[in-house]
């Protein structure tokens, strides 16, 4: 698989990464551990070298899973993990309080190193911006960890352009991770110009619109009570019915090229910028193989324009997060 570089610090990863959260959390009950280990091995064997996890996923269980699964490939894969969203062990189904105090960042780093079974964290993201801690203090804490050899690269997640600039001035930011897809194009106006100016990579999560852009769900799809999509306004039954028009656009575009809607959604992101690395997640081998096929789909600038023109005419309904979570993004 082709590789791409995130930031100016030499962080090179596969053009398509792997989001591991759903193996343990948020998309229904945790999956069988051995099956997920086998799937992660299959991803590596197919050329994926970039894997994404976080302390809060599980909580803690996802880092442990990723650490165990990827231990045989240490040195040949890149693992990104996150701090700053302190897990509450007594309330594992909900996001808990933010905490990006420098002393806490140091504690999380030590614990993540053990769970991931590595000597240094490849990419350490602040999971959400903590307004109680100046971003300069956060960047400074990660800078110290980099100087100590415990972290290699610094990242941010769902941060605003202003916050990115302030952090980058203290410690160069290798990558921003935020939601970005044909289902959510807001980053094009809010952060992508800043990333391009500063030479920061972009790692879109939910590149398939939390599964919606695959065409595998419709208004009648039922979500498990542990599936956080059941709380998202954009995924209400009525809004899915309305938003299906976007999937229809992508499906038609894909059919004309003999590929799947998921492959078009990923190919579109890869065609946007050479420093964009999507991290679709899955728990099924057939979906992994389908996603990897998106790397082989080359869209011309004209293709991108046609797809964007058609999809822009669809009026999407529903917020992308519940209110409590909406307050934590773009800060």
Among 268, 229, 261, smallest CA distance to 246 is for 261
Please determine, for residue 68, whether its predicted confidence score (pLDDT) is greater than 90: yes
Cα separations in angstroms, 102 against 80, 139, 160: 19, 9, 20
Residue 206 has a pLDDT of 98
DSSP 276: B
The lowest-confidence range among 111-120, 173-182, 262-271, 322-331 is 322-331
185/325 Cα distance (integer angstroms):
18
Share of the chain above pLDDT 90, in %: 93
146/157 Cα distance (integer angstroms):
18
What is the phi/psi pair of residue 311, to 5°? -70, -30
Q: For helices 261-272 and 285-293, give the axis angle rounded to 10 degrees.
A: 50
Please determine, for residue 94, whether its predicted confidence score (pLDDT) is greater than 80: no
Residue 97 has a pLDDT of 85
Residue 92 has a pLDDT of 44
Please determine, for residue 76, whether its predicted confidence score (pLDDT) is greater than 60: yes
Return mean pLDDT, the chain: 95
The owner of tokens 């964009």 is: 276
Boundaries of every domain in the chain:
3-209+272-297
Max Cα distance, the chain (Å): 54
Tell which wins on pLDDT, 92 or 46. Answer: 46
Please determine, for residue 168, whether its predicted confidence score (pLDDT) is greater than 70: yes
Residue pLDDT, tens place only, 4-28: 999 999 999 999 999 999 999 999 9
Looking at the structure, give the CATH architecture of the domain made up of residues 3-209+272-297. Alpha-Beta Barrel (3.20)
The answer to whether 15 and 2 have CB atoms below 8 angstroms apart is yes
303/311 Cα distance (integer angstroms):
12
Please determine, for residue 91, whether its predicted confidence score (pLDDT) is greater than 80: no
Over residues 117-134, mean pLDDT: 97
Please determine, for residue 226, whether its predicted confidence score (pLDDT) is greater than 80: yes
Cα separations in angstroms, 149 against 103, 109, 119, 248, 330: 17, 11, 8, 49, 30
DSSP 286: H
Q: Per residue in 180-213, is it b (16+ CB within 10 Å) or e — as a string? A: bbbbbbebeeebbebbeebbbbbbbbbbbbbbbb
Write the DSSP string, 69-133. Answer: HHGGGTTTSEEEEEESB---TT-TTS---B---HHHHHHHHHHHHHHHT-SSEEEEEESS--TTS
Q: Which helix (H) or strand (E) holds 201?
A: strand 201-205
54/115 Cα distance (integer angstroms):
11
Residue 89 has a pLDDT of 52
152/7 Cα distance (integer angstroms):
12
Is 57 in the active site?
yes
User: Exactly one of 27, 57, 180, 321 is catalytic; which is it?
Assistant: 57
């Amino acid at each position: 698989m082709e590789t791409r570089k995130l930031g100016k610090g030499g962080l090179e990863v596969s053009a398509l990464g792997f989001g591991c959260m759903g193996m343990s959390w948020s998309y229904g009950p945790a999956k069988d551990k051995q099956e997920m280990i086998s799937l992660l091995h299959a991803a590596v064997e197919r050329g994926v070298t970039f894997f994404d996890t976080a302390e809060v996923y599980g909580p803690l269980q996802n880092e442990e899973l990723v650490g165990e699964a990827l231990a045989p490939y240490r040195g040949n894969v890149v693992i990104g993990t996150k701090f700053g969203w302190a897990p509450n062990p007594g309330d594992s189904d909900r996001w808990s309080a933010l905490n990006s105090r420098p002393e806490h960042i140091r504690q999380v780093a030590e614990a993540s190193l053990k769970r991931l079974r590595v000597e240094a964290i490849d990419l350490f993201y602040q999971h959400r911006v903590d307004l109680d801690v100046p971003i300069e203090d956060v960047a400074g804490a990660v800078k110290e960890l980099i100087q100590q050899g415990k972290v290699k690269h610094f990242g941010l997640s769902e941060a605003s352009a202003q916050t990115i600039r302030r952090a980058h001035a203290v410690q160069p930011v290798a990558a921003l991770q935020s939601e970005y897809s044909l289902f959510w194009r807001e980053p094009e106006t809010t952060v992508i110009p800043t990333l391009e100016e500063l030479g920061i990579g972009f790692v879109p999560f939910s590149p398939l619109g939390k599964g919606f852009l695959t065409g595998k769900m419709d208004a009648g799809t039922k979500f498990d009570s542990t599936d956080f999509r059941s709380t998202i306004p954009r995924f209400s039954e009525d809004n899915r019915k309305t938003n299906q028009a976007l999937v229809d656009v992508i499906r038609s575009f894909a059919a004309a090229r003999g590929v799947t809607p998921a492959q078009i959604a990923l190919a579109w992101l890869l065609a946007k910028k050479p420093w964009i690395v999507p991290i679709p997640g899955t728990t099924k081998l057939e979906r992994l193989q389908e996603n990897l096929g998106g790397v082989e789909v080359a869209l011309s600038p004209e293709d991108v324009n046609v797809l964007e023109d058609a999809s822009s005419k669809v009026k999407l309904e529903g917020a992308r997060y519940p209110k409590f979570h909406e307050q934590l993004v773009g800060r």
